[in-house]
Amino acid sequence: MNTIVKLACLETKMFFRDRLSLFWTFLFPVVMIWLFGSMFVGDDLSQKAFAEYFVPAWIGVNIVSTSFFTLGTVLTHYRETSVLRRYQSTPLQPWKILAAHTFQGTVIFAVSAMLLMVFGMLLYDLTLPVFLWSTLLSLLISILTFFPFALFLTSLAKTTQAAAAISSLFLNLMLFLSGATFPLEMMPTVLQYAAKILPLYYVVKMLRGTWTQAPITAYGTEVAVLIGIAIVSVALATRFFRWSGK
């Protein structure tokens, strides 16, 4: 346990030493919300309605970027630069490494989500989620889905660049097709169906819903789909865990 906490703390510290990842994780989403706000808020859309639509969605997007970039790409980088291989010759077990990184990812995601929410509250009259516990539970389920999902997908890449490419592809795909940035109703029917293949669609739906409309019990389908993806991803991520790129 001691080791997991120590490793998680160190990884968090090192994350904060990297200015670039600080920008993308913490500042970029806030800037995006602000940009969208200045575009969409007006006669048709009140500030509050805007924030209730976009802030939960971007919190969902942050789960995706944290899992793909802060976790997946970094671990691929560690694999490529023999950091993981160095661990292989110590008594440290692989699950402890994954646990530490999951813990670190959760902490970083929590900070970014808080930032977005506070930003929404200050600028756009956003309120706390109506069904707070439901929202928190939704976040937990989403994390448990996305972390192993991203870890598995990025572990297919041999190099950091390839992992970053995979990550960018999935992030962008989900950004535009999950309803997080553009309302799905605007899109052709084909794309609306395509959106439902992507896990972020369910996350966004669940987060928006529990923020204003109904507790998590109303989102049984979404929860079931995500838990299904989570189970498959955990199985794949542990089955295909590799210490080194060779």
Chain contacts with another protein (rule: CB under 8 A): 2-3, 6-7, 10-11, 13-14, 17-18, 78, 81-83, 85-86, 88-93, 243
| Minimum CB distance to another protein, residue 156 (Å) | 22
Please, which residue, 38 or 89, has the CB nearer to another protein?
89
Say how many CA atoms lie within 13 Å of 115 toward its Cβ: 20
* Distance (Å) of CA 175 to CA 17, 28, 63, 184: 27, 13, 12, 11
Please, which residue, 18 or 235, has the CB nearer to another protein?
18
Please, which residue, 21 or 102, has the CB nearer to another protein?
21
Q: CB of 164 within 8 A of CB of 139?
A: no
Please, which residue, 6 or 46, has the CB nearer to another protein?
6
| Minimum CB distance to another protein, residue 72 (Å) | 16
Angle between helices 160-177 and 199-212 (to 10 degrees): 50
Angle between helices 47-65 and 132-155 (to 10 degrees): 40
Cα 181 versus chain centre, distance: 15
| Minimum CB distance to another protein, residue 90 (Å) | 4
Instruction: In whole angstroms, give the CA distance from residue 208 to residue 54.
Output: 8
| Minimum CB distance to another protein, residue 109 (Å) | 20
| Minimum CB distance to another protein, residue 91 (Å) | 5
Please, which residue, 182 or 243, has the CB nearer to another protein?
243
